[in-house]
């Protein structure tokens, strides 16, 4: 990858090298340093490919002219055609560790993955190089020169190995649109000269922040899909957790990185309980906690404790701590809302947004009573953007109904409906309106 | 790789009065930035441009040359100067772009310069 600045050609080269490895290794036995061998072979193949591409562009131009389409001499056609290219799981330790969904990591599997490619000794130059390569790739995909949407697409493609079709489906855009987005981003890598390199020390904090944000966006979209029939898109949650695991191994000294992993594990542990049989949202308070994944919760809590011990708290660790408050409560009634409210109060200092304040309002309401919470929510509700946030009105409605102000609560729910919530929320809201107004099948459309 | 910085600022070019304090400050700020780039060995060339209000725009349509008084596009931030550098990669170019005074008051557009291939 270092010698070719063109991501498309590098992907082709590595894939061919992997194919060669697959056919040759069983016969010849695995070489002593599979990763080194692969890189060596890949370099050869990259040169071949660069030469072939040079000849191909001319052929493509000729073909384009015959077909009557536009010719793009600087942009050989990729990545839409052909089979999906995947970044090979060469450094098994990074990508295999998170492959199992549910039940947490399998220590035996992790150990096997770690030793599988000759980079088991973390002190070895091969291991260090593998880590460096992976980090450089992730930092490149999350480079600030790309728009956030492009960063997410590139990361899912090049680091997680999702196909263009899979990414398009995940974000509910046509495949052609996603292909274009990826092609533009790859074109920019080449045209603008974005190279694989570790960010400078003074940029590290920002650049790690950018990477964490990408992972968080991917998870959030999977946890609560912004459109489409399903509330949860499990494959995105899985991809995000896999990324977070990789990052936690690559950047062991960064508590915010393990804080993010902890947050994702603690949150995703609830997956099975969050949707009912009709596909509607089940509130945290109503979830069957027996369905929560205990192993993921244990792992998440352990990671969080280790991170907090570093003494460098940050937003992801705080979010994880809030999630841990829920996961440690055997039932909703035992939740330590005072602690959660305090954590949100701390989070506000890192993330001074109305959304955080709104969540704090709910926590305060739960610990001091709905009236206290409503005061905060009403104060926050004047924020222009927040007024268009369905969750705010759902929260208000909840507090109002607890105060016995049923009509106002129903009104708040109806406002939430008008703001176009997701299908799963819609079902939940309509049911609540029905309960409040006594009309089980009320026409609330 | 070569990069061209297009310096966009809201004002109309270099301060007119060479004796003014504003002129001295601007001169000093740009001199410092350019000197640093020269010392780092990345600077190829740089210059301020005449005010966009004094620009003349040339278009040829149907063999007819059309001249317009003023810049090609009426935008709030016009190009007031340029810097041509040679850097290892975009990260390095972006670092230098941030040191240019125009980045504080306006914006610096960073464009890679293409190595033109003759047609095959």
Tell me the per-residue pLDDT of A194-245, one tens digit each, with 9 for 90 and over: 988 889 888 888 899 999 999 998 998 888 877 777 888 888 899 899 889 9
Q: State the average pLDDT over residues A50-55.
A: 52
Tell which wins on pLDDT, A142 or A355: A142
> If we measure between CA atoms, which residue out of A376, A418, A367 comes closest to residue A395?
A376
Tell me the CA distances in angstroms from A53 to A45, A428, A437, one per residue in order.
12, 54, 68
User: Which residues partner with B60 through β-bridges?
Assistant: B65
- CA B28 to CA B34: how far, in whole Å? 10
Continuous H helices in A160-314: 164-170, 175-191, 204-223, 234-250, 255-268, 294-309
B89/A197 CB distance under 8 A: yes
User: Quick one: average pLDDT of A366-370?
Assistant: 88
The band of B39, judged by pLDDT with boundaries at 50, 70 and 90, is very high
pLDDT of A106 reads: 39
What was the pLDDT predicted at B38? 96
Q: What is the mean pLDDT of residues A122-146?
A: 82
φ and ψ at residue A79, rounded to 5 degrees: -105, 5
Confidence of residue A18 (pLDDT cuts 50, 70, 90): low
Q: Are B113 and B5 in contact (CB under 8 A)?
A: no
Rg value, chain B, Cα: 16
Residue A58 has pLDDT above 60, yes or no: no
Question: Which structure tokens are listed for B3?
Answer: 């990069």
Cβ <8 Å between B120 and A145: no
* Length, in residues, of chain B: 120
Q: What percent of chain A has pLDDT over 90?
A: 33
Residue A409's pLDDT is 94
Contacts of A105 by beta carbon, 8 Å cutoff, 6+ apart: A97, A98, A245, A299
Interface residues of B toward A, Cβ cutoff 8 Å, are 1, 3, 87-91, 93-95, 110, 112, 114, 117, 120
B2, B4, B7: which is closest to B80 by C-alpha?
Answer: B7
Sequence-distant (≥ 6) Cβ neighbours of residue A33 within 8 angstroms: A118, A126
* CA dihedral sign, ordered A129, A132, A138, A142: negative
Tokens 């999977």 belong to which residue?
A: A222
Please tell me the predicted confidence (pLDDT) of residue A317.
96
How many residues are given for chain A?
445
Q: Element (H or E) spanning B6, and its range?
A: strand B2-9
Asked if the Cβ–Cβ distance from B90 to A197 is below 8 Å, we say: no
In whole angstroms, give the CA distance from residue A215 to residue A219: 6
Report how far apart, in Å, the C-alpha atoms of A242 and of each of A156, A222, B62 are: 11, 13, 60
Cross-chain CB nearest to B1 (options A193, A197, A199): A193
| Residues of chain A found within 8 Å of residue B94, distances taken between Cβ atoms | 145
- The closest CB to that of B90, out of A194, A199, A200, belongs to A194
* Unique residue bearing structure tokens 């309980």: A273
Contact residues, chain B, for A201 at CB < 8 Å: none
Q: Is the dihedral of CA A26, A27, A29, A30 positive or negative?
A: negative
Evaluate whether A260 touches A215 at the Cβ level (below 8 Å): yes
Q: Using a CB-CB distance cutoff of 8 angstroms, which residues of chain B are in contact with residue A58?
A: 120
Q: What is the pLDDT of residue A323?
A: 94
pLDDT score for A99: 36
Band (pLDDT 50/70/90 cuts) for residue B47 is: very high
Per DSSP, the three-state class of A117 is coil
Q: Is A225 helix (H, G, I), strand (E, B) or coil?
A: coil
**pLDDT-derived band of residue A256, with 50, 70 and 90 as boundaries?**
very high
Nearest-CA distance A365 → chain B (Å): 45
A4 pLDDT tier (thresholds 50, 70, 90): very low
CA B35 to CA B31: how far, in whole Å?
Answer: 6
pLDDT value of position A346 = 93
C-alpha to C-alpha distances, A168 to A28, A164, A173, A421, nearest whole angstrom:
40, 6, 5, 22
CB A281 within 8 A of CB A424: yes
Rounded Cα distance, A197 and A208, in Å: 13
Report the residue from A58, A73, A192 with minimal CB separation from B90: A192
Mean pLDDT of A388-408: 87
Distance from CA of A53 to the nearest CA of B (A): 14
| Pairwise pLDDT comparison (A316 vs A88), residue with the higher score | A316
Q: Bigger pLDDT: A76 or A372?
A: A372
Nearest chain B alpha carbon to A55 = B120
Q: A85: pLDDT confidence band, cut at 50, 70 and 90?
A: very low
Average pLDDT over residues A43-54: 52
Asked whether residue B8 carries a pLDDT value surpassing 80, the answer given is yes
**Tokens representing residue A178 in the block:** 């996603």
pLDDT at residue A279 in the model = 80
Whether the per-residue pLDDT at B60 is higher than 70: the answer is yes
Sheet holding B78-86, edge to edge: B43-48, B78-86, B2-9, B107-112
- Mean residue pLDDT of chain B comes to 90
CA distance readout (Å), A76 to A49, A113, A156: 12, 36, 22
The minimum CA-CA distance between B89 and chain A, rounded to whole Å, is 5
Average pLDDT over residues B70-78: 87
Burial of B11 (C-beta count, 10 Å sphere; 0-12/13-18/19+): middle
CA distance A104 to A269: 9
Which of A5-9, A202-206, A318-322, A371-375 shows the lowest per-residue confidence on average (mean pLDDT)? A5-9
* A363-374 average pLDDT score: 88
Per-residue confidence band for A68, with pLDDT thresholds at 50, 70 and 90: very low
Residue B11's pLDDT band (cuts 50, 70, 90): confident
Is A292 a residue whose pLDDT tops 90? yes
**How far is the C-alpha of A8 from the C-alpha of A183, rounded, in Å?**
9
Angle at A209 between CA A208 and CA A210, to 5 degrees: 90
Contact criterion met (CB < 8 Å) for B90 and A200: no
| Chain A residues lying within 8 Å of B110, measured CB to CB | 192
Q: Considering the entire predicted model, what is its pTM?
A: 0.69
A206-237 burial: b if 16+ Cβ within 10 Å, else e: ebbebbbbbbbbbbbbbbebeeeeebbbebbb
pLDDT at A94: 29
Model confidence at A60: pLDDT above 60: no
* Cβ <8 Å between B89 and A200: no
Q: Looking at the partner chain, which of A191, A199, A200 has a beta carbon nearest the beta carbon of B112?
A: A191
What is the pLDDT, as a whole number, of residue A330? 87
> Any residues with CB less than 8 A from the CB of A439 and at least 6 apart, and which?
A433
Q: Which pLDDT score is estimated for A164?
A: 93
The per-residue pLDDT for range A416-432, each reduced to its tens digit, is 999 888 777 788 889 88
Range with the poorest average pLDDT among A63-72, A303-312, B22-31: A63-72
The rounded mean pLDDT for chain A is 75
Q: For A147-199, what is each residue's pLDDT tens digit?
A: 989 999 999 999 888 899 988 988 888 999 999 999 999 999 988 989 888 89
Q: Which of A58, A73, A197 sits opposite B91 (nearest CB)?
A: A197
In the predicted model, is pLDDT for residue A100 greater than 50?
A: no
Tell me, what's the pLDDT at B50?
A: 87
The nearest CA of chain B is from the CA of A213 a distance in Å of: 20
Query: Which residues on A lie below 8 Å from B3 (Cβ)?
Result: 193
User: Whole-angstrom Cα distance, residue A189 to residue B3?
Assistant: 14
Contacts of A197 in chain B (CB under 8 A): 89, 91
Residue A104 in this model has a pLDDT that exceeds 60: no
pLDDT at residue A162, as a whole number: 87
* Residue appearing with tokens 């098994």: A92
């Amino acid at each position: 990858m270092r010698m070719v600045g063109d991501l498309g050609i590098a992907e082709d080269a590595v894939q061919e090298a992997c194919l060669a490895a697959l056919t040759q290794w069983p016969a010849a036995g695995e070489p002593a340093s599979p990763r080194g061998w692969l890189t060596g072979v890949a370099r050869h193949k990259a040169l071949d490919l660069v030469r072939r591409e040079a000849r191909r562009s001319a052929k493509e131009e000729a073909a384009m002219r015959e077909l009557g389409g536009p010719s793009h001499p600087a942009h050989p056609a990729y990545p839409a055609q052909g089979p999906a290219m995947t970044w090979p799981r060469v450094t098994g330790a990074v990508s295999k560790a998170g492959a199992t969904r549910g039940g947490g990591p399998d220590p035996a599997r992790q150990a096997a993955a770690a030793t599988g490619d000759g980079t088991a000794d973390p002190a070895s130059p091969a291991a260090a190089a593998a880590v460096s390569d992976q980090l450089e790739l992730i930092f490149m995909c999350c480079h600030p020169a790309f728009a956030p949407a492009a960063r997410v697409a590139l990361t899912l493609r090049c680091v997680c190995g999702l196909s263009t079709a899979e990414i398009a489906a995940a974000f509910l855009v046509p495949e052609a649109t996603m292909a274009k987005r990826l092609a533009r981003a790859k074109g920019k890598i080449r045209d603008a000269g974005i190279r694989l390199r570790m960010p400078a020390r003074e940029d590290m904090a920002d650049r790690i922040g950018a990477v964490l944000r990408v992972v968080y966006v991917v998870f959030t979209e999977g946890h609560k899909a912004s459109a489409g029939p399903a509330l949860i898109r499990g494959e995105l949650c899985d991809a995000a957790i896999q990324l977070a695991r990789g990052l936690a191994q690559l950047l062991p000294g960064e508590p915010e990185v393990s804080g993010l992993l902890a947050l994702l594990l603690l949150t995703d542990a609830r997956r099975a309980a969050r949707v009912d049989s009709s596909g509607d949202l089940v509130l945290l308070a109503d979830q069957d906690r027996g369905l929560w994944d205990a192993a993921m919760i244990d792992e998440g809590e352990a990671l969080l404790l280790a991170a907090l011990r570093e003494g460098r708290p940050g937003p992801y660790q705080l979010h994880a701590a809030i999630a841990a408050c829920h996961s440690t409560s055997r039932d909703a009634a035992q939740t330590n809302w005072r602690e959660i409210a305090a954590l949100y109060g701390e989070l506000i200092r890192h993330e001074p947004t109305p959304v955080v304040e709104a969540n704090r309002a709910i926590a305060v309401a739960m610990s001091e009573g709905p009236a206290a919470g409503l005061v905060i929510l009403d104060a926050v509700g004047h924020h222009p953007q927040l007024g268009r946030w369905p969750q705010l009105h759902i929260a208000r409605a909840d507090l109002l109904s607890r105060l016995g102000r049923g009509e106002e609560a129903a009104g708040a729910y109806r406002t939430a409906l008008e703001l176009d919530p997701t299908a799963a929320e819609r079902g939940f809201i309509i049911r609540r309106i029905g309960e409040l107004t006594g009309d089980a099948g009320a026409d609330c459309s | 790789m070569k990069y061209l910085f297009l310096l966009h600022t809201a004002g109309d070019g270099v301060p007119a009065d060479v004796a003014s304090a504003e002129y001295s400050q601007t001169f000093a700020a740009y001199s410092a930035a350019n000197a640093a780039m020269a010392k780092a060995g990345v600077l190829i060339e740089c210059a301020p441009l005449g005010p966009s209000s004094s620009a003349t725009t040339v278009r040829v349509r149907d063999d007819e040359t059309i001249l317009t008084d003023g810049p090609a596009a009426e935008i709030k931030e016009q190009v007031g100067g340029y810097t041509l550098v040679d850097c290892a990669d975009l990260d390095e170019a972006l670092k230098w772009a941030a040191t240019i005074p125009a980045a504080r008051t306006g914006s610096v557009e960073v464009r890679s310069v293409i190595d033109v291939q003759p047609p095959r």
